[in-house]
Amino acid sequence: MAKRIHLTELGCIACEELSELGAGKEGWLVNSPNLLCALDSHSIALANRFLILIVNWGDPDAPRVKIRPDLSPIEAESITAIEWLVFDDVRVVVAGTSCGYLLVYSIAGDLIHKQMVHPSRILKLRVRGTKKDLMQETSSEEICVVLPGIIARFDGSNIQSMLQKWVQEKNSNFWDQNNRKGEPEDSGSLYQRLPYQIWSVNKNGVCVDATVTGIMPPPLLEHQSSQRYYCAVTIGEDAVISAYRLSEDRGRSLVGALLSKVVPAAASTIASFSKLIWRSNDQSPKRKPEAKTQSFARASSLTCIKDYPRKGEKLTLSPSGTLAAITDSLGRILLLDTQALVVVRLWKGYRDASCVFMEMLAKKDKGKSVIHTEPVKSDYCLCLAIHAPRKGIIEVWQMRTGPRLLTIQCAKGSKLLQPAYRFGSNSSASPYIPLEVFLLNGDSGQLSMLNRSLS
């Protein structure tokens, strides 16, 4: 009987430039908390605190691109999150910083956009989309920015419009390459601010990871309106799992509205009066104007699970947003139904594990004839790939309550990666692209893909 092969080698990222990120040391890919990875269909972006390196794993002869953002040395600013934004006509890298800035770079290293989200450390960038079907009444594509106790949401259409405008200006020779390669002195002088929503989700404790799972109905006894409500799931140290209803409305109570008007006016009056009394002839240097922060919209707590000393560590969301896999500090993995907000499955004995959802070809009945040659969405079943580094294995379990389908041995120092979401891929006219999972061996630099078929 021939041995089954569950991994397909695709390429290698080994190069001299990786030494700047710590390559060459055993376990460099997984042991450094400051090393970040983001995978695209042809490239991988790796980053440490001050450098972003783009490597084309499909073409070893392609030039590597180094991006060194102009970070604030006074604030000890560093890169804390990284992700790809993939559209039909453009691919860009987006990075989050410890000071709350969002930086968008072209694959050539040009700065396209810079914007303050909130003056706090950006923990995670999540890109996802849902298609309108029988289960989903509406479709949406979004980018979620996770900060401690805060979650922000950018609509994908706004970012796509900004990038399309940038491409048009570049092709029309109206783009100033010299200005774009360097960081501007005033972050708001050259870039149009992208609209977004932001919520405070720290009622049950500061979160270490969070995600918007999708659109949810409005609360009972509330008038119907055109605004949307979103469901968010957070994990943290105080509450293992928390769920919130997020509203687009930034309305506040009457007391809050009065304070927001009276306090700034009083402070402005006192400041003006002080200037008249203590006016000095010495002209002090003007400070750079601080970026304006956006007020929080309403967030209502729905439920939370507190189980000290258990702490939530990592969170991954299924493509539809209906399931979330959560790892905790006790070595357990919880499968959460994000619509019913209940845990539907539990795995034990997986310390330091990481999870990603994937799709595998389901077994067909031998008696049935195959009408189509190319697999369609209905041919795939949703699975959860669990990487247990202490065991040195990857397990693939069928959702929701299915059996374990595969157990794959993997080298020490390996990492599970998933290609970035493709905006517009939910179109019914485009062929279905299943959710794939890749394995990167840090010691050899070899990138492999988990096969979608069990045979």
Cβ contact 37:45 at 8 Å: yes
Token pair of 160, please? 């796509």
Q: What is the pLDDT of residue 267?
A: 46
Q: What is the pLDDT of residue 433?
A: 81
List the one residue out of 357, 331, 335, 362 whose CA is nearest residue 346. 335
Q: Which residue in this structure is represented by tokens 């096969």?
A: 451
Q: Which residue in this structure is represented by tokens 């790796």?
A: 46
Beta pairing partners, 57: none
Cβ contact 263:250 at 8 Å: no
* Spatial distance between the Cα atoms of 235 and 332, rounded to a whole number of angstroms: 14
Cβ contact 126:146 at 8 Å: yes
411: amino acid identity, one letter: A
Q: Which residue in this structure is represented by tokens 């980018």?
A: 143
Q: What is the pLDDT of residue 425?
A: 63
What lies within 8 Å, CB to CB, of 391 at 6+ separation is none
End-to-end CA distance of the chain: 12
Cis peptide bond N-terminal to 400, omega within 30: yes
Token pair of 116, please? 């303050």
Token pair of 95, please? 């990075």
Residue 182, Cβ density class (10 Å: 0-12 exposed, 13-18 middle, ≥19 buried): exposed
Cis peptide bond N-terminal to 184, omega within 30: no
List the one residue out of 246, 384, 240, 380 whose CA is nearest residue 323. 384
Q: Which residue in this structure is represented by tokens 């009945």?
A: 365
Q: What is the pTM of this model?
A: 0.83
Q: What is the pLDDT of residue 323?
A: 96
Cβ contact 305:208 at 8 Å: no
Q: What is the 3-state secondary structure (H, E, C) of the chain?
A: CCCCCCEEEEEECCCHHHHHHCCCCCCHHHHCCCCEEEECCCEEEEECCCCEEEEECCCCCCCCEEECCCCCCCCCCCEEEEEEEECCCCEEEEEEECCCEEEEEECCCCEEEEEECCCCCCCEEEEEEECCCCCCCCCEEEEEEEECCEEEEEEHHHHHHHHHHHHHHHHCCCCCHHHHHCCCCCCCCCCCCCCCEEEECCCCCCEEEEEEEEEECCCCCCCCCCCCEEEEEEEECCCCEEEEEEECCCCCCHHHHHHHHHHHHHHHHHHHHHHHHCCCCCCCCCCCCCCCCCCCECEEEEEEECCCCCCEEEEEECCCCCEEEEEECCCCEEEEECCCCEEEEEECCCCCCEEEEEEEECCCCCCCCCCCCCCCHHHEEEEEEEEECCCCEEEEEECCCCCEEEEEECCCCEEEECECCECCCCCCCCCCCCCCCEEEECCCCEEEEECCCCC
- pLDDT digit string (tens) for the chain, length 455 residues: 345 678 889 989 999 999 999 898 888 999 998 999 999 988 999 999 999 999 998 887 889 999 999 999 999 999 999 999 999 889 999 999 999 999 999 999 999 999 999 999 999 999 988 765 545 556 678 999 999 999 999 999 999 999 999 988 888 765 455 555 555 444 433 568 999 999 999 999 889 999 999 988 887 766 566 678 999 999 999 999 999 999 987 654 333 333 344 444 544 554 454 444 444 444 444 444 455 678 999 999 999 999 888 999 999 999 889 999 999 999 999 999 999 999 999 999 999 999 999 999 876 554 444 455 677 888 899 999 999 999 999 999 999 999 999 999 999 999 999 999 988 765 555 677 888 999 999 989 999 999 888 76
* Spatial distance between the Cα atoms of 29 and 43, rounded to a whole number of angstroms: 17
